[in-house]
Amino acid sequence: MRNYYIPPVTHVIPLTTIRRERVLPVPGAVTVRVNEKVQASHVVAEAETVPRHFFLDVVRGLGVTQQNVGRYIVRREGDRVDAGEVIAGPVGIARRTIRAPANGRIITISRGRVLFEARGELLSLRAGFPGVVIATDGTRSVTIEATGALIQAVWGNGGQDYGVMRMVGEGPADRLKTDQLDVNLRGAVLVAGICDHPAPFHQATELSVRGVILGGLASDLIPVAQRLPYTVVVLEGFGERPINPPAFQLLSSNIGREVAIDGQQPRPYQVQRPEVIIPLPAARDVELPDEVIPLKPGVRVRIVRAPYQGEVGAVQSVLNQAAQYPSGIRAMSAKIELAGGNIVTVPVANLEVLQ
Amino acid sequence: MNTILDADTLLAVDVGTVNTRASLFDVVDGRYRLIATGRAPSTAGPPLFDVSESVRMSLERIQSITGRPLMDESDSLILPVTTEGAGVDVFVSTTSAGPKVRTVLVGLMPGVSLQSIRRLASSAFLEIVGEIGLTDRRRDAERIDLIIAARPDLILVAGGTDGGAVDSVLQMVETVGLAANLLPGGRQTRIVFSGNRHLGASVMEYFGERLSVTMTPNVRPSLRQEDLAPARMHLAEIIAEVRSSRVAGFGELETWSRGFLLPTADAFGRVIRYLSNIYGPDKGVLGIDLGASQTTVAAAFDGALRIMVNSDLGMGASLPGLLRHGDIADVIRWLPVEIPEYRVRDYICNKAIQPGTVPAETEELYIEYALAREVIRLALGIARSEWPAGKDSDTLMLLPPLEPIVVSGGVLARAPRPAHALLTILDALQPTGISTLVLDPHNLTPALGVAAGPLPVLPVQVLESGSYASLGTVVAPVGSARFGRQILRVKLERETGGEDMTGEIRMGQLVVLPLAQGEKARLTLRPERGIDVGFGGRGQAGALRVAGGVIGLIIDARGRPIFMPKDPDRRRELNQKWLWDIGAME
């Protein structure tokens, strides 16, 4: 019989191969080649954002009849034109013309109306972390590979940046406070336990930090975090959620190194998550992380809900029968040996594999 | 899809966002019965993004319970039943998993075609990313920009009664066609045209051959007539196509089911409509399916179904929608212990990112069920705005008479005690008069809805078989009276003998009279003046035959709306008392 439990997997890995696909929202142009080395800030692809459209009414604009309008339109469908260039005309003594309202192209000409598409702004897609381009489709996607440490998060405010990592506070549960933030942290990526007040965020803005890595964020600060000019990633969740011990150890041991933080907001049915990448050289080939790890004895897990929320341990056994909990609910469960040696019973639904 | 006359065994699978459930039905003593159910965590999302794994897990559960092989060596479903008794005759499936389908609505007039297309969209698991109408003051070019920026998977177009508007419809169609052709990267956007059917050829000409266009019968054939059913059927197929393109495994379900694959909400609605036809026109039938990513409210009045799928309200990823539609204070009022507001907010946000988790601690359970109350209450309020006049939220603050009320969904089905589910439903819906509350503990309703296609007799026989749990008959007097004042006298005479019960009910009380599931009794109600129990007016007494339930006969005299003290301590005490009274607390 199949293993019934395939929990979500969160990667906290000191050294692995990291492969990420960067994809433009609309087709454009890829600016890098396969095997090319890229830096985090390197633009790997560009595209025009959503263009604007205009209907240019040639019949009314030139004061001609619909039957005759064709002879006055001097451009064709598909033509690219610059702002101010004549599209139709001139007509009459006043030499009336219809000109392009912006740089763009003519989409269609129908019944005396020209559908004109003005070019949108250029959107640049960055590599996000230093690595090597291993694949591209030439128009929209670029796959970059590197080796390093990987710490996956649960939430991000949408930003993406790269900078030197600095620790703020002493431990994984320490609150981020304004008096901890001074000019020495300018331009850095900060690591802190919990943030439950907006003031440190604003102070960090003054210092032009590149990003903040948190264990827990008070949920009422989500709108504040979304407006910040720098990247925020949350590793554990909302509220009093300290950074899990393996992640904290990994971050602590790499303080002073440059890190890439990706704060993309997680969406259901999306593979990529917010994450922290610490680029590190590898003397040998290192494997890609496992994406599917069935729950079985020995597997390292993190408990994501009370009463042992945030604790990390190893699966001792997966129970055959549902267990009952103080809340009264019955749920399929596993026995977990926590880091301190205690063995606790936890619903398998409240576990995620920590690799 | 044809009816199958000679089949004994039917297997139904419902793929949800959090759970995948399989139900095996077979003929026992000449009638269809539920034989076994199997549940597994859904694998539609990360890390697998493939529903087939959880489908097979749930089938293996059934195999291990029944000993009946369902899959062959290559892990394929055995169809039909072999001479050795392996496999099943018919497979049907429903699904609510998969990403929402991004949809732009296009119509003409706000109160006519746009309203109908909105209703059509609200009955499916869609994410509305834009709306265009004749009166929205946008220029054609702006409409094109809106569609391109929205990057829709689907554009629903309606407009014009049959033989009605021509020019305005074709102008809108031309705009939509231009925009759809300009969508970047050859994006496969489906277009459904459900407008003036006399324009079929012209509409196809405007859209051209490049676009994927489906024509359905008009959702608004005349100004006074609305017909959503045929368009809904086409919509279900398109949603299934979009899902299949995003999450693996749906193609296999389609092959196995041979066309009997429906959105969960559609199948759920079919059963509610069927019940409405059985119970008659005096009362409506209400169905609530509280899912992780959506809440479905299906109400049928005299066989006419109104269904609304609210994908912004659910107990999982869509839980933060509760904060957009409602107020956190409305959640906190249902808590029997003091829990700070920030903790409830954190809970909502954490549940949204970890939707499959369960509350192991009592305090978290209280938060979970307080949230469930508000999600249902808000979804019902939104759905009621589309109910027929006289039963909608504008004309009456109170719910119209309903019989029965069917509820399903993981949170309610897996409540620690049935009393938790019952009190959650009572608080959220606040039914009036006399109703029966029915819980669907195995999530059979979607299975029965889709099974009605190949085996129409199956749902009828399973509904009668006791596979649902009747929580009990609820009597909810309506009227104003001082708290503690006597409002009702009750007499319960059991048909099977046993002690009769009489009593007086006071305003504010929540009383449970023991009446076991399957037990019948004659209930006589004598309300005081100004109090209505559903016998035709205030002060009207009457008697009726009632059936028992898992909880019993419940008399909910807490007022409509339920009186909640402003003082937080007093309110928490009252919540505790209600949990105690209903039997959810020891």
pLDDT in tens, B217-261: 999 999 888 888 889 888 888 888 888 888 899 989 989 988 888
Q: Does residue A188 belong to any structural domain of this protein? A: yes
Residue B185 forms contact with A (CB below 8 Å): yes
Residue B304 forms contact with A (CB below 8 Å): no
A24-28, A118-122, B43-47, B364-368 — which one is most confidently predicted on average? B364-368
Residue A236 belongs to a domain with what CATH number? 3.50.30.10
The predicted pLDDT at position A4 comes to 67
Q: B221 and B347: one domain? A: no
Q: A71 and A154: one domain? A: no
For B444, the domain range is: 265-582
Q: Does residue A138 belong to any structural domain of this protein? A: no
Q: How buried is B100 (Cβ within 10 angstroms: 0-12 exposed, 13-18 middle, 19+ buried)?
A: buried
Q: Does residue B3 belong to any structural domain of this protein? A: no
Kindly indicate the confidence band of residue B2, based on its pLDDT and cuts at 50, 70 and 90: low
Residue B82 forms contact with A (CB below 8 Å): no
Three-state SS sequence of B270-337: HHHHHHHHHHCCCCEEEEEEECCCCEEEEEEECCEEEEEEECCCCCCCCCCHHHHHCCHHHHHCCCCC
Q: A13 and A152: one domain? A: yes
Residue B328 forms contact with A (CB below 8 Å): no
Q: B439 and B562: one domain? A: yes
Q: A174 and A214: one domain? A: yes
Q: A160 and A271: one domain? A: yes
Residue B84 belongs to a domain with what CATH number? 3.30.420.40
| Model confidence at B7: pLDDT above 80 | no
Q: A256 and A198: one domain? A: yes
pLDDT tens digits, one per residue of A181-205: 999 999 999 999 999 999 999 999 9
| Positive or negative: CA dihedral A215, A219, A222, A224 | negative
Q: How buried is B494 (Cβ within 10 angstroms: 0-12 exposed, 13-18 middle, 19+ buried)?
A: middle
Q: B73 and B107: one domain? A: no
Cβ distance of A6 and B346 shorter than 8 Å: no
pLDDT tens digits, one per residue of B31-41: 999 999 998 98
Query: Is residue A326 within 8 Å of B353, Cβ to Cβ?
Result: no
Cβ distance of A115 and B353 shorter than 8 Å: no
The predicted pLDDT at position B527 comes to 95
Residue B103: partners with Cβ closer than 8 Å, 6 or more residues away: B121, B126, B127, B128, B129, B152, B153, B154, B155, B156
pTM for the structure as a whole: 0.91
| Model confidence at B394: pLDDT above 70 | no
Tokens of A174: 């320490």
Residue B224 belongs to a domain with what CATH number? 3.40.50.360
Q: What is the mean pLDDT of residues B357-380?
A: 96
Q: A306 and A249: one domain? A: no
Instruction: Provide the domain count of chain B.
Output: 3
Which of B215, B246, B277 terminates a domain? The answer is B246
Rg, chain A, Cα only: 27
The predicted pLDDT at position B497 comes to 78
Q: What is the DSSP string of B344-374?
A: HHHHHHHHHHSTT----SHHHHHHHHHHHHH
Do the bridges between strand B433-439 and strand A300-303 make them parallel or antiparallel, or are there none, so unpaired? unpaired
Tokens of A290: 């496992």
Q: A305 and A267: one domain? A: no
Tell me what percent of the residues of chain A surpass a pLDDT of 90: 81
Q: A151 and A270: one domain? A: yes
Cβ distance of B361 and A349 shorter than 8 Å: no
Strand, helix or coil for residue B11: strand
Which contiguous run of DSSP H or E holds residue B388? none
Query: Is residue B263 within 8 Å of B65, Cβ to Cβ?
Result: no
Closest listed residue to residue B271, CA positions, set B287, B258, B284, B292: B287
Cβ distance of B359 and A329 shorter than 8 Å: yes
* ipTM for the assembly: 0.91
User: Alpha helix locations (H) across chain A?
Assistant: 58-62, 198-206, 222-227, 245-252
Cβ neighbours of A335 (radius 10 Å): 17
Spatial distance between the Cα atoms of B149 and B521, rounded to a whole number of angstroms: 62
| Positive or negative: CA dihedral B369, B371, B373, B379 | negative
Which of A101, A118, A135 terminates a domain? The answer is A118
- Chain B residue closest in CA terms to A292: B47
pLDDT tens digits, one per residue of B452-469: 888 888 998 998 888 888
Task: Say if residue A90 is preceded by a cis peptide, omega within 30 of 0.
Answer: yes
| Model confidence at B3: pLDDT above 60 | no
| Positive or negative: CA dihedral B421, B427, B428, B433 | positive
Lowest-pLDDT range, A265-279, A305-319, B561-575? Answer: A265-279
Instruction: Provide the domain count of chain A.
Output: 3
Query: Is residue A279 within 8 Å of A148, Cβ to Cβ?
Result: yes
Do the bridges between strand B552-556 and strand B469-476 make them parallel or antiparallel, or are there none, so unpaired? parallel
303-332 in chain A: CB under 8 A from chain B: 304-307, 325-331
Q: Does residue B259 belong to any structural domain of this protein? A: no
Q: A153 and A13: one domain? A: yes
Q: A170 and A244: one domain? A: yes
Rg, chain B, Cα only: 25
Q: B301 and B340: one domain? A: yes
For A250, the domain range is: 9-17+147-279
| Model confidence at A3: pLDDT above 70 | no
Which contiguous run of DSSP H or E holds residue B189? none
Query: Is residue B372 within 8 Å of B290, Cβ to Cβ?
Result: yes
Q: What is the mean pLDDT of residues B48-69?
A: 92
Set of chain A residues whose Cβ sits within 8 Å of the Cβ of B363: 306
Q: A240 and A167: one domain? A: yes
Query: Is residue B219 within 8 Å of B113, Cβ to Cβ?
Result: yes
